[in-house]
Structure 1
Amino acid sequence: MNIDLTGKVALVTGASGGIGRGVAIELARQGAKVAVNYLSSVQGAEETVAAIQAIGGEAVAIRADVTDVAQINDMVAQVEKAFGAPIDILVNNAGHLVQRLANAEMTEELYNKIMDVNMKSTVFVSKAVIPGMKKLGGGRIVNLTSIAAHNGGGPGASIYAASKAAVLSYSKGLAKELAGDGILVNAISPGFIGGTAFHATFTPDAARQATIQGIPLKREGTPEDVAGAVLYLVSELSAYLTGETIEINGGMFMR
């Protein structure tokens, strides 16, 4: 069975680089029309669109803060207008550690920022696309969680880990809620993925090398590794799969 997404409309949040960019490009490679969401990196978003166009795909870049409900709703309307159809595929990729900070020093402001960018964005972008998916008679939602949801995260990342655990649990509940509408909801839990701003910002090289040595496959993952799992989840290959979480970590964490 081939993965053919021709005619499908996809929205990938946080797609100006890293995992989001890798996912957006692979969706387009399989025929989907892709909306590339970004917040601050217009250059990165334009590079993602250019990469898609270079392989003959169709894409648009749309700026929106996915922690702001009004901007989320406007973004979805822009996507539907740009491609002339509702969204078939949503990949809730936008997320951020924001800052490593011990709980003893945690502020309400930082707590809200972390929860909003990881959990609130997932909830309200999903809410915004559901009516269109129901009109289509089905759809696919893929939420990005993290290995941190299982192990509590690294130093100063407990709130981030909790937000990603919330995404994982929410995905299960949403899957039950939408199953009758033909909308499948699953999650992907990446481990140590290189080529992302996350580790470039928050992981010193010594820690990176030590982590890689602890991975059974002895390498860090790539955005393309994650994109492959996304393709599976949004294709007919996964037609009987919902409410599940796929772990992509090279054997670093096994359930």
Structure 2
Amino acid sequence: MDLQLNGKTALVTGASQGLGRAIVKALAAEGVRVFATARNPELLASLATEIGRDGGVVPTVFEQDFMAEDGPKRIAEAALSALGPLDILVNNAGGSRPMAIDAPEEQWIEGMTLNFDRHRQLTQALLPNFLARKAGSIVSISGNLEPEVVNAAMVAKAGLVVWSKGLSEQLGQHGITVNCIQPGLIDTAQIRRLYPGDERRKFAEREIAMRDFGEPEDVGNAVTFIVSPRARYITGIVLTVDGGMRRYAF
């Protein structure tokens, strides 16, 4: 199926590794001109090299600390300057760690800023771009909404989902879709640290219908479809990519 993405433009945050890297590759393979931003210039450079080698559209890379107070503004301005009008925004940057029940305020501020506030600020900076064109797709990568411990990132990601739902209601009339992708256990460096060696196999056989963890490409493929014109009538949803790990039916 032709996803009708050739020539579209996209901004992807947290693009240098893990899910973000896979998302950029999947979009570039479909002919999307991607503005890929992250903190690590070496990883960004290698991403561009790999995509060019594989025949995709080489992305524009931009080194920027997303946590910086002016990070969202700098990213939005640089992306619009480099690519012109944007068709797609993928809010992917993030990080997670367990916290004590009485964790210091600094940890809460860090988790909420990285996983919610900066995404909201970047999206708001780009809303005039989407509204002027009466078109576009905004996708945010959410997280585990079934926490076993206190985790500021999970709280922030839950906020991201609720905010996205409200935004979808207000932007739908302008032809703009807003959705979330909720990954399950995906084979990234962070997850490999949490499930080392045989722990992965044991957990997957016990808890995941597909009996294995997913690959970053699985998330990249889901994002690529949901931002495509083929998904023009899908908005306000949370699409799980988890191999059947979550057992609720609705």
Paired residue total: 246
Distance 1:197 1:116 in 2: 22
Which residue of structure 2 aligns with residue 90 of structure 1? Answer: 89
Q: Compute the displacement of 1:202 (Å).
A: 4.2
Which residue of structure 2 aligns with residue 45 of structure 1? Answer: 44
List alignment gaps of at least 5 residues for structure 2: none
Which residue of structure 2 aligns with residue 144 of structure 1? Answer: 141
Distance 1:108 1:237 in 2: 44
Which residue of structure 1 aligns with residue 115 of structure 2? Answer: 118
Matches within 5 A, 1:183-222: 183-194=176-187, 196-205=188-197, 207-213=199-205, 214-222=207-215
Amino acid at match of 1:96: G
TM-score by length of 2: 0.92
Distance 1:182 1:69 in 2: 30
Matches within 5 A, 1:22-37: 22-37=22-37
Q: 1:234 to 1:203 in 2, by over 3 A?
A: same
Q: 1:118 to 1:180 in 2, by over 3 A?
A: same
1:172 is aligned to 2:165: yes
Q: Compute the displacement of 1:94 (Å).
A: 0.4
Greater shift, 196-205 or 85-94, is seen at 196-205
Residues 178-234 of structure 1: CA deviation (Å, up to 9, x unaligned): 11221100000000000x232144444454333222211001001111111111111
Distance 2:133 2:197 in 1: 47
Distance 1:171 1:241 in 2: 13
SS across alignment from 2:70: helix
Distance 2:26 2:113 in 1: 27
SS across alignment from 2:10: strand
Amino acid at match of 1:19: L
Which residue of structure 2 aligns with residue 58 of structure 1? Answer: 58
Which residue of structure 2 aligns with residue 158 of structure 1? Answer: 151
SS across alignment from 1:58: coil
Amino acid at match of 2:131: K
Distance 1:101 1:138 in 2: 40
Contact 1:94-1:121 within 8 A present in 2 as well: no
Q: 1:220 to 1:101 in 2, by over 3 A?
A: same
Distance 2:189 2:216 in 1: 11
